[in-house]
Structure formats: C-alpha cells, structure tokens
Amino acid sequence: MLIKYDDLPLQQTVESLAYLDTSDRDAYGRYWFNGYDPEGEFYFGIAFAMYPNREVMDCALSVVRKDGSQDSFRASRRCPIDRTEMQVGPLKLEITELMRVLRVTIEDNDTGITADLTFTATSPVHEEPTDRVRQEGAVRMVAQMKRYTQFGRWNGFIGVKGEKQAIVNACGMRDRSWGWRFCGEPQGGTHRLRPSQAFYLWAPIFWDDRCTHYSTWENADGVPLKSFAQIFPLYDNNTEFDVMDPTGFRNIEAGQHRLEFNDPESRFVTGGEFDLIDNGELITVKVEPLLRFHMYGIGYAHPEWGHGMWKGDLAWTSEHWNVNDVDKLTPHLQHCQQVIRVTHGDRVGHGVLEQSVIGPHHRYGFGPGLAPLGASEA
C-alpha cells in the first residue's frame, strides 16, 4: 500500500514507507515533549507514539500545578497504515515546520481536558548516541534506540475542567526516538525482562545565553553505562537560524554528581550538585527541586495505559491525583521529572531533572528494591 510520502525519495527498502523493515513486535516511533514554568508554577509532559507491528498508536498529555494536582489525558487507537495521520481521538500532533515548529491540540471531549500548544525550536537538533540493551545473562538485544533532542519554547493553553492554564514562552525540550524498546503487553515464551536496577539522571538546563544537557545511566557500582554532556546555542523565538547547523554546539564531559536524598520516605532527589567539564574547566551546577511530575501520567510504567498497550480501535481516558498525597515508594511512580532551579556561581538557570532510582546504588547507600536511603530491607 502506498502513502503520500512515497512520492519523496525516502525509501530504505523495496517496500513502501508504510511498512517497517523489521517484524519486531516492539518497533516504535515516538515524539516526547515537556514544558514548564521556570519558577515551578506548572509542568506538562506529552507523549505521542506508534507501534506499527502492534497496530497501536497512542498519546498522552499530563500537567501538574504548584499545588501538586496532576491531571492526565490518554488516548489510543488502531495504528493507521499512513502513520502521518497523527491524531488519536481528540488529540492531534501537527508538524508545522520540520525540526522547528510543532503543534499539539486536544479538542473538547468528555474528560474536560483540552489544549492548544505550539512548540518553537530555540536550538539546533542534536543526535544522541544509539542506546543498546541486552537481556541480562543472554545475547538477546532487548532494546535499541536512536534519539535526537532539541530545546524550545511553548505558547498556548491547557484546559482542565473549564480552567485554563496559560502557557506563555514556557521553557521546553523535545526528543524524537525510534527503534525498539520495552512496551505493551509481554510476549509469550521468554519475554523481554526489564532490568531490576536503574540509576538514571537527565538534566537539560536553560541559562541566559545557552543551554546545557547532562545525562548519566549507571550500574549499581556507579559505573556509567552511558553518559554525556553538551552545550547548545540558545536562540530567541523570533531569530532565524538553521536548525541543522551545529555551530555553537559542543560535546563536553559529564562529571560526577553529589546528590542529596533527604526525604526518608522516598528516593527522590532533594538537592545536591553535578559537574560539567568544558575543556578542563569544572562547572559545578547546584540543584534546587521546585515541582515533581510523575512520568506515569504520560504512560511510563502505567499498568493499564502503558505505552503500546492494545485498547481497541479507539479509546481515551483521564486520571487525576495529587503528587503530595501519594506513597512516594510506589514502584510505578519512581520515574519522575522535577522542575529545578540551578546555580553556578552567580549564574542562575532553570530546567528539569529526570530520575529513576531503582534497586542498588552502592555509593548512595541504596539497596535492592525501593527502600529509601539508609533503610533496612528484608
């Protein structure tokens, strides 16, 4: 079957672009976005993905406010053959200008959650190293992903049951990823086992004149499985620039982190610092968390609306909770992002700290499971 993009010379195989070159059940293509007020008044996350071999296209938008209330809209449909039809029920993703401007809308619907949001790039795009994960103790490749990232600004609104949150020049980040990863209902036989240990940090930061990007993924001994740091040039919304031009972009070194976990009832970061190393210069970034957002809100580790789960030809739902009232050691709530204020000397920036701390990490004193720092575990 042909789709309209077959008119462009983009084919990678002898088949139409409608067909993947893999039969892997968990092959996917995903858009992910965040946006937030620098002072922690609100944060929102958006996910939109297609899993052609599962015949699923799904999406979600979730917003948390300063009072801790978090609301989520989620939707799923049978994946169309033409995957450029990026609409699931009332939620639609439009690429207005490739690599520069994207729009997400949610029309009026029975959940009471609506939106009209436009993302405008303020940095070039950057391709990250490929992620590859093998089944522990086996040769099987269980995840292989490519991703690019980009900083930008958001304008528009999010409505929840008649109350509109204005989004005006809000900071944001987006990524676009593809490959295959853990998603959907488990396969029969020897299915892909999720690792029992994770220590993952990701911190994209807006400063006055540039953006910095820091990430590390470590094993229980604190040895990085993947780490990187970068400096992105930062442009104004109205400045014309080539989003493919890497001028001003630099790879630097991801240094050590010295985080604080002072909440006895959680594994969430409460403060601390991490280092960037730029041509031998040590840049120590101090972290102050302002607002917590649970990635569960946009499908991560959700037991019923997880990524790629089959929900029928078309379905949508909503959910509400307060992040201040939950048990902070609940397994599916461990993956979170926090809006953070950061300082380096007299410089002040704002960003997010994504984290997932599960199982042992010896340097911080964490043991198996999800006990908080310093707690004994059976």
- The CATH number assigned to the domain holding 95 equals 2.40.370.10
Domain count, the chain: 1
Strand partners, 203: 214
Give, as one character, the DSSP assignment of residue 333: G
**Strands 314-322, 210-218: parallel, antiparallel or unpaired by DSSP?**
unpaired
The pLDDT, as a whole number, for residue 145 is: 85
The answer to whether residue 18 is domain-embedded is no
The answer to whether residue 156 is domain-embedded is yes
The pLDDT, as a whole number, for residue 112 is: 98
Q: What is the CA radius of gyration of the chain?
A: 20
DSSP labels, 32-60: EEEEE-TTSSEEEEEEEEEEGGGTEEEEE
Contacting residues for 26 by C-beta, under 8 A, at least 6 apart: 51, 53, 54, 180, 181, 182, 183, 184, 192, 308
The pLDDT, as a whole number, for residue 359 is: 93
The answer to whether residue 19 is domain-embedded is no
Q: Residue 255's closest CA among 231, 224, 288?
A: 224
Domain coverage including residue 178: 24-183+193-364
The answer to whether residue 2 is domain-embedded is no
The pLDDT, as a whole number, for residue 376 is: 40
The pLDDT, as a whole number, for residue 348 is: 98
The pLDDT, as a whole number, for residue 374 is: 54
DSSP labels, 58-97: EEEEEEEETTSEEEEEEEEEEPPSSTT--EETTEEEEEEE
Regions in the chain scoring below 70 on pLDDT: 136-139, 188-195, 372-378
pLDDT tens-digit map of 219-228: 999 999 889 9
Query: Per the structure block, which two tokens stand in for 54?
Result: 């599962």
pLDDT tens-digit map of 292-337: 999 999 999 999 999 999 999 999 999 999 999 999 999 999 999 9
DSSP labels, 262-323: --TT-----EEEEEEEETTEEEEEEEEEEEEEEGGGGTTT-TTT-TT----SEEEEEEEEET
The pLDDT, as a whole number, for residue 377 is: 42
Quote the CA–CA distance of 315 and 77 in Å, as a whole number.
Answer: 6
Give, as one character, the DSSP assignment of residue 185: S
The answer to whether residue 4 is domain-embedded is no
The answer to whether residue 3 is domain-embedded is no
Query: Per the structure block, which two tokens stand in for 246?
Result: 């890497």
CA dihedral (173, 302, 183, 94) positive or negative: negative
The pLDDT, as a whole number, for residue 143 is: 76
The pLDDT, as a whole number, for residue 139 is: 66
Neighbours of 279 (CB within 10 A): 7
The answer to whether residue 302 is domain-embedded is yes
The answer to whether residue 10 is domain-embedded is no
